[in-house]
């Protein structure tokens, strides 16, 4: 079964809000500029952060350690293959800068803010599902990004998730994905995949149950 283990936050611009000036609320602190709860994710593992974003019903805002903002390298993704765990997710993702960052050495934090939707996550015309083997179904396909000039290119590190289940994977540098789903995890009704990436409009795609 596919599971996410890392998120790509490298596209996020910095946010001017100050974590240390936000009022404390249940679950974190309140950003009064956007009226969203900011969760303190410092000290969490990459996998825990990725899973939180991948399977939350609402966009997640968070305070991150700076080292969590490093984009994945080509070597990391190639080493893990198409089902590798580095994810780029849609959502209002924040990484907070504290007062101490201005005067203290690392470890530090940075505060980022999601941009308005600047591109579209597009399903490629070709996707496929294998026949059930060993009680699993494998969905494969490709995701493209539409650029401002109207052209399209492969979208790396996009999230592909089975809607309503904690099952997801990522695209590789060519925008291709391979999602392994246990047969008993498929819903009774239509099977829907969600294509997502930071700062982009998500796509919902209905696929065959097989």
Instruction: Locate the domains of the chain by residue range.
Output: 6-110, 119-207
- Bigger pLDDT: 118 or 31? 31
Fold held by 119-207: Immunoglobulin-like (2.60.40)
How far is CA 61 from each of CA 7, 89, 174, 177, rounded to the nearest angstrom?
13, 12, 28, 26
Mean pLDDT across 156-171: 85
pLDDT at 26: 92
DSSP state of 46: H
C-beta separation of 175 from 144 below 8 A: yes
Q: What is the pTM of this model?
A: 0.64
Say if residue 84's pLDDT is above 50.
no
Q: What does the pLDDT look like over 119-147, one tens digit per residue?
A: 566 666 567 777 777 789 999 999 888 87
Q: Say what the alpha-carbon torsion angle 135, 166, 194, 206 is, to the nearest 10 degrees.
A: 40
pLDDT at 13: 61
Mean pLDDT across 18-27: 90
As a whole number of angstroms, the distance between CA 168 and CA 121 comes to: 16
Q: What does the pLDDT look like over 170-210, one tens digit per residue?
A: 888 888 999 999 999 998 888 898 887 766 777 888 888 77
Contacts of 202 (CB under 8 A, 6+ apart): 90, 121, 194, 195, 196
Mean pLDDT across 162-176: 87
C-beta separation of 139 from 129 below 8 A: yes
C-beta separation of 201 from 184 below 8 A: no
Say if residue 113's pLDDT is above 60.
no
pLDDT at 71: 66
Q: What does the pLDDT look like over 23-73, one tens digit per residue?
A: 999 989 988 888 888 889 888 888 888 777 767 767 778 888 887 777 666
């Amino acid at each position: 079964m596919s599971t996410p283990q890392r998120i790509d936050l490298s596209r996020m611009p910095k946010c001017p809000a100050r974590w240390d000036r936000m009022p404390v609320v249940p679950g974190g602190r309140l950003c009064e500029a956007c009226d969203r709860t900011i969760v303190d994710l410092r000290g969490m593992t990459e996998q825990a952060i990725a899973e939180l974003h991948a399977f939350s019903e609402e966009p997640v805002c968070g305070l991150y350690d700076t080292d969590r903002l490093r984009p994945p390298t080509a070597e990391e993704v190639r080493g893990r293959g198409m089902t590798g765990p580095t994810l780029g997710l849609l959502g209002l993702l924040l990484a907070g800068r504290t007062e101490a960052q201005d005067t203290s050495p690392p470890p530090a934090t940075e505060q980022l803010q999601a941009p308005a939707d600047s591109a579209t996550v597009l399903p490629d015309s070709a996707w496929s599902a294998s026949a059930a083997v060993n009680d699993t179904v494998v969905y494969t396909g490709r995701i493209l990004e539409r650029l401002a000039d109207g052209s399209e290119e492969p979208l790396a590190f996009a999230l592909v998730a089975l809607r309503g289940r904690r099952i997801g994977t990522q695209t590789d540098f060519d925008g291709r994905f391979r999602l392994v789903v246990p047969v008993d995890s498929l819903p009774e009704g239509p099977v829907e995949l969600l294509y997502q990436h930071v700062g982009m409009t998500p796509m919902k795609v209905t696929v065959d149950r097989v």
